[in-house]
Amino acid sequence: MARNNDTGLAVVHALVVLSTILFAITGIGNGDNNGSFLEEWQRPTSDLFTVYANAKQGMAKSGNANRDAHDGWSLKLMLNPNASRRDGGSPATETKSRYKYGTYWARAKTANCSAQPKADVVTGIFTYFNDGADRNGNGLPDNNEIDFEWLCAEPEVVYLTIWTDYRESDPAKFRNVHRTINIKTGRILMECYREQFGWCSTSGKPLSESERQPTKIEAISNYYSPTRYYDYGITFEANRVHFMIVANGVTHTLWDYRGHSDRIPDQPMYFMHNVWHTDNWYPMDDNGSAVETPKYPVNVYIDTSSFAPLNN
């Protein structure tokens, strides 16, 4: 079995932590917000999101004409050919305010690597906040993060992760719970609690019954994340994280995590979307020899992004 996304995730977290700290220093996006929002990406700029990219890495464009979007407009994140193996500077968005308990939705098409099926490109839809503080006193910086992630080389598979702590070191130290699902077949490929990178079978600890619901996932046989818009949702509560997908007009539960409260974030977070390249995140069924640097532009499209607080 191939290696999991170890060094690549170490890089992404180190760089995103730096980005968040810089936003806080400059006074951008460091306020909390309990209100609902809906961003339809119709205009070149957004009142809700900061949209950014390093010109060498790619482009992030709001107000992109897109006939498949519900209103004809979308956010386009384009990763350049031969992009550096990094997250920092890659096409991304993040809300200008932080949000806490409620439901986050993004209607999206993930990165399409049909021209280069083994390109090592990751699409992310996630919530995130890390200011370096250790509020729970466990010796690690708190890392409040809830992820949907897709590897371009396996577009039918989604990686779901809930983080509470992360420190970049050698080796990295962190706390997370993780589930990987082949949505097309409904097969749960792995799930565990981890404190080090690697496959659950070698580096993780089993989840309790309440942490691994549902134990069976309904297959979505026509699921293919790059060529069709799907709605992806996260309901975040103090004692629960619920991952959902809307496909063919039906809402499916991918993971309804309930369990250890110390394995669930407790801070308001930014809502983010990104696309980036890493050279060591291998498909579940690959030995790693086939992953490649992207040689063609790779696009991610976001049709809508929204948040609704609980009890609203």
- pLDDT tens across 94-127, in order? 999 999 999 999 999 999 999 998 899 999 999 9
Domains of the chain from N-terminus onward: 7-309 (2.60.120.200)
pLDDT on residue 213: 97
pLDDT in tens, 227-279: 999 999 999 999 999 999 999 999 999 999 998 889 999 999 999 999 999 87
% of residues, the chain, pLDDT over 70: 88
- pLDDT at position 244 is 98
| In the predicted structure, residue 287 carries a pLDDT above the cut 80 | no
Terminal Cα-to-Cα distance of the chain (whole angstroms):
45
> pLDDT band at 132, cuts 50/70/90?
very high
Query: pLDDT class for 48, splitting at 50, 70, 90?
Result: very high
Distance CA 174, CA 176 (A): 7
Average pLDDT over residues 51-56: 92
Q: How buried is 244 (Cβ within 10 angstroms: 0-12 exposed, 13-18 middle, 19+ buried)?
A: middle
pLDDT at residue 144 tops 50: yes
pTM of the model: 0.89
The residue-averaged pLDDT of 128-142 equals 94
* % of the chain beyond a pLDDT of 90: 72
pLDDT grade, residue 142 (50/70/90)? very high
Residue range 158-176: average pLDDT?
A: 91
pLDDT of residue 289: 58
pLDDT digits (tens, 9 = 90+) for 61-77: 999 999 999 999 999 99
Answer yes or no: is pLDDT of 11 > 60: no
Average pLDDT over residues 152-178: 92
| Residue of 301, 276, 227, 297 lying closest to 62 (CA atoms) | 301
Confidence of residue 23 (pLDDT cuts 50, 70, 90): very low
Whole-number Cα distances in Å, 295 to 59, 82, 94, 115, 141: 16, 6, 27, 9, 36
Distance of alpha carbon 265 from its chain centroid, rounded? 15
Structure confidence at residue 278 (pLDDT):
86
Q: Which pLDDT value is given to residue 88?
A: 73
C-alpha 91, offset from chain centre: 13
When the pLDDT of each residue in the chain is averaged and rounded to a whole number, the result is: 87
pLDDT of amino acid 169 = 81
Handedness of CA 94, 96, 102, 107 (dihedral sign): negative
pLDDT reported for residue 87 = 64
Instruction: Return the pLDDT at 118.
Output: 87
